[in-house]
Structure 1
Amino acid sequence: MAAARGAWHPLVVMGVSGSGKSTIGAALSQRLGVPFADGDDFHPEANIAKMSRGEPLDDDDRWPWLERIGDWLAEHPEGGVMSCSALKRKYRDQLRGHAPATEFVLLEGSREVIERRQASRPGHFMPASLLTSQFATLEPLGPDERGVVLDVDQSVEAIVDGYLGS
């Protein structure tokens, strides 16, 4: 039963920095038996340098990155899991332009929970100082968007089970 959901279309695990996209994405891909890719690995060096300096990315920075992610999703029409912030509707629309069947899993949590998670991952290029801009940019999934919203303030297993049972 678990492999039926998500194994036949691309899946994007989305949310603000520190929400657990990579951890949950990797766990989902393992449970579903499909490939996983981390959106952070698709950033050009200029984006990483900008974020490392504490500067938020703008749309011009994001478009080439989203194109690369969209290409990966299109290469996995039978199922693949990508972690990607996908904070704005227009970013998700761009990804769906590459892979129309893409489903989104929005990992949602309070600022306090996300800050606690960020503090537990030292050395990540995304500084906690950018969290305010991430929350300000995040647009919730629209009622016409294929996806689910899951609370991050629980175990990885509970989140994965929550997706597979939804």
Structure 2
Amino acid sequence: MQTTPTVLVVMGVSGTGKSTVARSLADALGWPMEEGDDLHPEANVEKMEQGIPLTDDDRWPWLDRVGEWIDAQGRRGEPGIVTCSALKRAYRDRLRRPNVTFVHLAGTRETISRRMAARSGHFMPLSLLDSQLETLEPPGPDEQVITVDLGGTPEEEVAVVLAALDRD
């Protein structure tokens, strides 16, 4: 029996709708939500704004901040939702806790690039999508993950997650 409340890590490459899905899940579940992009060190944001892909060394401090948020939720005994690309298994391993479930938003390059082109005011340019797709190591069957196909509306994608949580 799980004693620490669930924390959902909504993951995927840029443009998959992590923030939209996470906010909708937070509203539906009444859980606190943290925007993982807000936890990036300023140097990371500057690199991405310039179209420079992040390295593993750039990502470790950011992933540690995300992990600290997850741990704080556990200490408070609260569930939560945080967005984080979590592209590589090593990154997910850094965030993995018994109470963490990853929500992988997965879609084709065409679907994701269309979504990225439609949004405004985000520091991640469309030019970095290919490097993110190359970096992505989709979660394996041994990982605690809910995979959501990006073929539907955000409401339909949220419904997939809520249905999967209800089965647990």
| TM-score, normalised with respect to structure 2 | 0.91
Which position in structure 2 is the counterpart of 1:16?
13
Which position in structure 2 is the counterpart of 1:145?
143
Contact 1:14 1:21 in 2 (8 A): yes
Partners of 2:161 and 2:56 lie apart in 1 by 29
**2:73 aligns to what SS in structure 1?**
coil
Which position in structure 1 is the counterpart of 2:69?
72
Which position in structure 2 is the counterpart of 1:108?
106
* Shift in Å, 1:162: 0.6
- Counterparts of 1:79-98 in structure 2 under 5 Å? 79-96=79-96
Residue 158, structure 1, aligned to residue 156, structure 2: yes
What amino acid does structure 1 have at the position aligned with 2:63? Answer: L
Q: Stretches of 4+ moved more than 2 A in 1?
A: none
**1:12 aligns to what SS in structure 2?**
strand
Partners of 1:123 and 1:131 lie apart in 2 by 16
1:29-78 alpha-carbon deviations (Å, 9 max, x no partner): 11111100111000011000001111100000000000000000111123
**1:24 aligns to what SS in structure 2?**
helix
Between the aligned residues of both structures, percent identity stands at 55
Partners of 1:42 and 1:21 lie apart in 2 by 15
Which position in structure 1 is the counterpart of 2:120?
122
Partners of 2:30 and 2:16 lie apart in 1 by 23
1:97-154 alpha-carbon deviations (Å, 9 max, x no partner): xx33200000011111101100111221101000001000111111111011101121
Partners of 1:75 and 1:137 lie apart in 2 by 29
Contact 1:25 1:83 in 2 (8 A): yes
**Structure 2 residues without counterparts, runs of 5 or longer:** none
Contact 2:87 2:135 in 1 (8 A): yes
Which position in structure 2 is the counterpart of 1:3?
none
**Structure 1 residues without counterparts, runs of 5 or longer:** 1-6
RMSD: 1.2
Partners of 2:5 and 2:15 lie apart in 1 by 27
Contact 1:47 1:57 in 2 (8 A): yes
Contact 1:34 1:79 in 2 (8 A): yes
Contact 1:9 1:76 in 2 (8 A): no
Residue 51, structure 1, aligned to residue 63, structure 2: no
Partners of 1:31 and 1:40 lie apart in 2 by 22
